[in-house]
Amino acid sequence: MPFITVQPSGNRFEAATGSSLLAALLAAGEPIPHKCEGKAQCGSCHVFVHEGRKSISKIGAAENERLDTIVGVGSKSRLACQSILGAEDVTVELLGFGSGL
């Protein structure tokens, strides 16, 4: 069961291995946008994963395509809805960039 640390709020909570990062953040009350409800279509759930990236599921084709359309994407970028948590703790930064569309 990984612990998730959220920036900039500093919130820290335990999440379930196998759940999406988006679901974990929403369950913890974090205000992360998710306009397409987790279908990798809107890009509004874009976050930076600062720690624990290797334990999260790899970037798939749909996520890659969507990330290509978002302004401000970097090497730590992930779509929270497509990021399935592994066993390691994760530090994630909420960005509030909007959809980029």
- Interface with ligand FES includes 79 (CB under 6 A)? yes
92, 27, 10: which is closest to 55 by C-alpha? 92
Place of tokens 């948590």: 85
Task: Report the Cα 22 to chain-centroid distance in Å.
Answer: 6
- Interface with ligand FES includes 40 (CB under 6 A)? yes
Which residues, at least 6 apart from 55, have a Cβ–Cβ distance to it below 8 Å? 2, 85, 86, 87, 88, 90
- Interface with ligand FES includes 98 (CB under 6 A)? no
- Interface with ligand FES includes 34 (CB under 6 A)? yes
* Of 7-15, 38-46, 69-77, 90-98: span binding ligand FES (CB under 6 A): 38-46
Q: What's 37's DSSP letter?
A: S
Shorter beta-carbon distance to ligand FES: residue 35 or 88: 35
Closest approach of ligand FES to the CB of residue 73, in Å: 13
28 φ, ψ (degrees, to nearest 5): -90, 0
- Interface with ligand FES includes 78 (CB under 6 A)? no
Closest approach of ligand FES to the CB of residue 31, in Å: 13
